[in-house]
Structure 1
């Protein structure tokens, strides 16, 4: 049952900061030049005709690649506070093992990247998640962009399914301030502040704050987090902008691996049951991100951009987890109690990531043929220091899966399976030309060359592995503009992603290589209020690590995987009162070659053949105010529950309800209901011993005010 108690300290801090910003703006009588919506808005666009992730000013209708944009209005309508809630509304993006809710992990078109840290995603065009990072908070996010298919020709090493870019909110030269407070089921509370405005005629700021104290349907599991995200824009001249933003995020929560699928069957135990030890305390994740960019327009046709990003991450804490050696099998005591074996771990990870980007973009013509060229380079240096100690399971450290008793004597941490220092260095050069061959034809040609170096020192074994690789990745695409609303495109592209570790001889593995082909149709209404994409794709990946049959315990880069499918995305404003977003994906993703015969033909982990969602929002005037009511459905088909494809997670469909009432211009009340019919489902898994149950029905009451 939902409780309505408010914790005063976070709320008081938000109120104090918010009213201080408002008073400052009024006292200085600022003259403002831009219009900006701050806080939850109504009637904003669902459909976006451009995207920064494509590194081009070309309208998406002319781009020979599928791009899906989740704008702030969708984020607000569903009340998303985590990134994973937003990508449920993108075709072909599926949830993966989230490490007990302590990081973001997803697959695009079936490919999920590293089994621990997941695929790379971008933050304002820079890699945003190298290392270990807390789940992305949405308080300072303006939109989420997904570029489908290989993106290596633009961004370097990445999965062939695509890449995701998070675009943060930017300072505005019109003052705006909003304060939002929420209370929800399971004793969950959240407050956010969004404040922006000018500090002078040439300098503007934005400040996003979030404080969260979140309960859970999971026994013994609570989390806390805060986000502090100031940013500044300095207009150096009419043609030059300097942008800086800082993001500080702290997240504290127990490492909760979820439930077990006893003998491969989900639903074996209650979705509430926590199999860890409350006495282990929280895992703490601290992330700090600095981004500095300089933009200059030489003319209406030529512009340049350069940027630096520096990120640090710290991850530490104890955990007790169901033992992988238990394989989801319980042992029965003489009294008939079902016991699952556990182990205890301590992790201490630390990372430093610095990167640079520089690019030049311009337009020119050669006779009747128009060109839009993009050239640039980027480089990064990344260090990851990892230490994990472990105590293996014993009979005395098991737990009853139906009637858990906590407080057992902690296991001694007597082994150190991970004690490494990894250093990565990478540099890439890219060149792209978008060519208007004729009024109705657009040709895209792109090429990128990357050099990559990795150095891993294993302090436990006193060994060191180094590898150097280089890769050249092209892409070529063609778009036919049939009429002002309809276009057809085709694309061929490649990707690569370095493999970590070494073979039996200490040599480096060849990088994974992906090749993709895609054809599609795009539609955009004449008034640009709604549009959609239908895409067919075929992706092959080789040099996937597989077991070395001649040397037990070692791997070779000889595996292959394939993903084929169809995707449909549609969104927009159908009438003045109704906006809709919908998507569907058919994804056939499986292993096509592996030295382990059991894996031949196995489905890729957590990737359903069928998935999709639909959501609609209706708004209208009411008395002196305004109201809105909306609903949505999300469907995820049956999926493989582990790498061997030896057990499955069942399909599920969940519903949501969203309502708001706005009695005045600056006051808004909302009620969001997630999983309306309280469906029991399982969002993802790593294997039978670590299965993540989905959230039951939750209600969230909100109050939003602008001042």
Structure 2
């Protein structure tokens, strides 16, 4: 552990010893009274309906009704996650307007690739990009559309996904589940929560899953352990301590795509995999999180959160590097990689409601710090010169022995990454009809390479946000906002752009600005909420792969920077109860993302002016019908993603897939059957590069789960 990492850990713990924590978690809370009259605080989803939720704190860092938020936001409830039998985040993309898969857990959101996520509103992703986040410990998923830098720091401008973790509850409850499926899928979970005393509660959980997949040589094992406790300190303070352990073993990974022709047709069976049976991607991570909540005598609240993460990722895998002239012999590259992250994230927010100048104000003042120590080791060999055999994509014969490969060791890389931010925001109620929001953030960023080739890059930026709401009736909100984003360049990107041995910061930070207008309506006695938005996002200093680059050591920079990309679109989201026994969620998005600065064809991921993996049209539907007379529910859904292009200009064909679910209560047990890709559609979920092909979507899968709550 480096000096700076230790230093921040000490500073964090010192701060927590003097700070009290916010009353209730940042997300929705509920209060209850204990037998002794002590106020009991438990963090619960307040879904009064199956799928619709009425408020969120993600967009403002204060619990705010959706109708009072001047920005587009979606929340996927725990009931929706359960009905869809979602095990990992990729299972939920159909329910988020304007979002489709890019690669691994990365998505395209409003036309832009987005890999960053938050947990309980702070940084610290244990899956770190190459693994897919699991949902066992997740209560709900929140998605803030457009740039989010004002509250959450640097990132892409399309959307930010936040995973809200499950917390202890004071009501005793044990949930158990066993599940089986095709591809030899099997698993179990146990989740127990309850009170330890009138002022403390616990939660213990474990999840295990083992399965094969439709790709050759692949299997998956997921183990997650979770433990947490909540203490009430007096009647104004609560503390929640959480620990999560994640162990993921993905055989036959890091999983790449299947080769296609320029029209997007697969050149071989979608079960093709360049990896050998002994290849793998393994992840081990431990996360420790402390949330502190406090209410001061004057009504001011404070929420302080610390998230400490330690993870290790090992990858030994074969990568497609392109077909020979015979059209079937795939050149392969073997990579042996180790990545280690140690991360500390600290966030503290003070919220105060007051009246100033005859107007109601909700003031937010906060700050955050994020520090990462990163270590990377890399060995590589390609093709016959390294004894890495080619693979026949039409008749693959496996059995290569990596111990015979001639691998080249790249220099180890050690980095220290620091980011500090300060922000202030005011939510203003002018009168019954008009509301406003104004805020700004200052970010300071530094990324330093340690060791003999030490160098660093640093940057700073102000990012404002302004929003306004007009509510002609209690059921209608017209809103508009202007938001800005900021994404600094890492030392890795800067080094990739450097042509000589003298390091210099060649790349400017990526910047973005969004203009958004929309209308939110409540229908049928507030049972249904609809949100219709139109937006324009302009991203400048866009950094992308250099099409002239031919590989490591060629003297050509591997990344380059173009002027500008503009995304314009419309999104419609509808969620709620149509009748007492019929509920659902529907979304449609139109998006047009084009290069508006830089020459056409000057970058790899464009055809003319189109951006990669950015479909013009997407549609998502999930609806549930309850039959109380037989204690059952039937659900079905669909996802449509329009035609796109890959990073290498190849067509990614449009697709439509349908899913269905049946749930029944039988003598206290919940029996659930889910069928994904009901009609066994063959499709590509996203495009990648010409040498790696497209990522194939999963064929028909069946999952049967038997669960019980005690």
| Band the TM-score falls in, shorter-chain normalisation | 0.7 to 0.9
What is the count of residue pairs matched by the alignment?
A: 651
The CA deviation string for residues 62-104 of structure 1, in whole angstroms up to 9 with x for no partner, is 1110010001011011000001112320101111111xxxxx2
- Residues 251-330 of structure 1 correspond to what in structure 2 (within 5 A)? 251-253=248-250, 254-255=252-253, 256-262=255-261, 265-280=264-279, 282-299=280-297, 301-323=299-321, 326=322, 329-330=323-324
**Counterpart selection for 1:535 from 517, 533, 536:** 533
| C-alpha separation in 2, matches of 1:173 and 1:676 | 40
Indicate whether 1:398 and 2:398 are aligned: no
Give the Å deviation of 1:609: 0.7
Question: What is residue 95 of structure 2 aligned with on the other side?
Answer: 89
Alignment RMSD, CA only?
2.6
Residue in structure 2 matched with residue 564 of structure 1 by the alignment: 568
Query: Per-residue CA shift, 1:102-159, capped at 9, x if unaligned?
Result: xx2112212214xxxx2x1110011132845632111111100001111111111111
Q: Is the 8 A contact 2:124 2:307 kept in 1?
A: no
CA deviation profile, 1:557-602 (whole Å, cap 9, x unmatched)? 4432111100011111111100010001111113322367443744
The alpha-carbon deviation at position 294 of structure 1 amounts to 0.7
How far did residue 414 of structure 1 move? 2.3
Question: Are 1:173 and 1:204, in contact at CA under 8 Å, matched by a contact in 2?
Answer: yes
Q: CA 1:531 to 1:648, structure 2 compared with 1: closer, same or farther past 3 Å? A: same
Which residue of the partner structure matches residue 670 of structure 2? 668
How far has the Cα of 1:542 moved from its partner?
A: 0.8
Q: Please, which runs of 5 or more residues in structure 2 have no aligned partner?
A: 1-34, 550-554
Aligned to 1:687: 689
Matches within 5 A, 1:402-421: 402-410=394-402, 412-417=405-410, 419-421=412-414
Residues 37 and 518 of structure 1: is their aligned pair in 2 closer, same or farther, counting only changes over 3 Å?
closer
- 1:621 maps to which of 622, 628, 641: 628
Is the contact between residue 139 and residue 210 of structure 1 (CA under 8 Å) also seen in structure 2?
yes
After TM superposition, give the deviation of residue 507 of structure 1 in Å.
1.9
1:273 shift after superposition: 1.9
Please name the residue that 2:81 is paired with.
75
Please state how far the C-alpha of 1:160 moved relative to its aligned partner: 1.3
Which of 574, 593, 596 is the aligned partner of 2:578? 574
Deviations 1:359-396 (A, max 9, x none): 10011012431100100111111111111111111286
Distance 1:544 1:244 in 2: 40
The 8 Å contact of residues 106 and 129 in structure 2, kept in 1 or not, is answered as: no
In structure 1, what is the Cα distance between the partners aligned to 2:602 and 2:487?
Answer: 25
Instruction: Determine if contact 2:94/2:621 at 8 Å carries over to the other structure.
Output: no
Give the TM-score normalised by structure 2: 0.87
Pairwise CA distance, 1:275: 2.1
Task: Find the aligned partners of 2:597 and 2:470 in 1 and give their Cα distance.
Answer: 36
SS in 2 for 1:154: helix
Other structure's SS at 1:127 match: coil
Counterpart-to-counterpart distance in 2, 1:43 and 1:485: 17
- 1:360–1:37 distance in 2 versus 1, CA, 3 Å: closer
- 1:158-169 matches, within 5 Å, as 158-169=155-166
Using the TM superposition, name which of 584-593 and 439-448 deviates more: 584-593
Deviation at 1:465, TM superposition (A): 2.7
Q: Does 1:353 align with 2:343?
A: yes
Report the counterpart of residue 477 of structure 1 in structure 2: 467
Shift of 1:548: 11
Change (3 A) 1:285 1:663: same
Residue 300 of structure 1 deviates from its aligned partner by 7.8
Q: Does the alignment pair 1:105 with 2:110?
A: no
1:452 correspondence with 2:445: yes
SS where residue 75 of structure 1 aligns? helix
Contact 1:442 1:479 in 2 (8 A): yes
- Contact 2:47 2:77 survives alignment (8 Å): no
2:634 is the alignment partner of 1:634: no
Check the 8 A contact 2:588/2:617 in 1, yes or no: yes
Cα deviation for residue 267 of structure 1 reads 1.8
> What 5-or-longer segments of structure 1 have no aligned partner?
1-28, 99-103
How far apart, CA to CA, are the structure 2 residues paired with 1:516 and 1:265?
32
Greater shift, 542-551 or 552-561, is seen at 542-551
Structure 2 vs 1, CA of residues 32 and 295 (structure 1 numbering), >3 Å: closer, same or farther? closer
- Tell me the residue number matched to 2:63: 57
Counterpart among 456, 476, 484 of residue 466 in structure 1: 456
Q: 2:53 aligns with which of 48, 53, 59?
A: 48
For 1:589 and 1:48, locate their aligned partners in 2 and report how far apart those are by CA, in whole Å: 31
Partner of 2:488: 498
Match of 1:142 among 131, 139, 155: 139
Q: State whether residues 624 and 635 of structure 2, in contact with CA within 8 Å, keep that contact through their aligned partners in structure 1.
A: yes
CA–CA distance in structure 2, aligned partners of residues 582 and 661 of structure 1? 24
1:627–1:110 Cα change, 3 Å: same
Q: Could you report, residue by residue, the CA deviation over 1:175-221 in whole angstroms, capped at 9, with x for unpaired residues?
A: 01110111001110121111100111111011221000011111221
- Map of 1:203 onto structure 2: 200
Contact 2:185–2:212 (8 Å) recurs in 1: yes
Determine the structure 2 residue equivalent to 1:18. none
The answer to whether the 8 A contact 2:286-2:310 is kept is yes
Report the alpha carbon displacement of residue 637 of structure 1 after superposing the two structures with TM. Answer: 0.7
2:655 to 652, 656, 659: 652
Pairwise CA distance, 1:37: 12
Q: Could you tell me how far apart the structure 2 residues matched to 1:108 and 1:586 are?
A: 11
Question: In the alignment, is residue 594 of structure 1 matched against residue 601 of structure 2?
Answer: no
Matched, 1:523 2:529: no
CA gap 1:469/1:37 in 2 versus in 1, 3 angstroms: closer
Alpha-carbon separation, structure 1, partners of 2:90 and 2:340: 24
Give, in whole Å, the separation in 1 of the partners of 2:185 and 2:560.
47
Q: Deviations over 1:624-665 (max 9, x none)?
A: xx00111111101111111x4x2111000000010011123x
Whether the 8 Å contact between 2:94 and 2:638 is mirrored in structure 1 is no
1:129 is aligned to 125
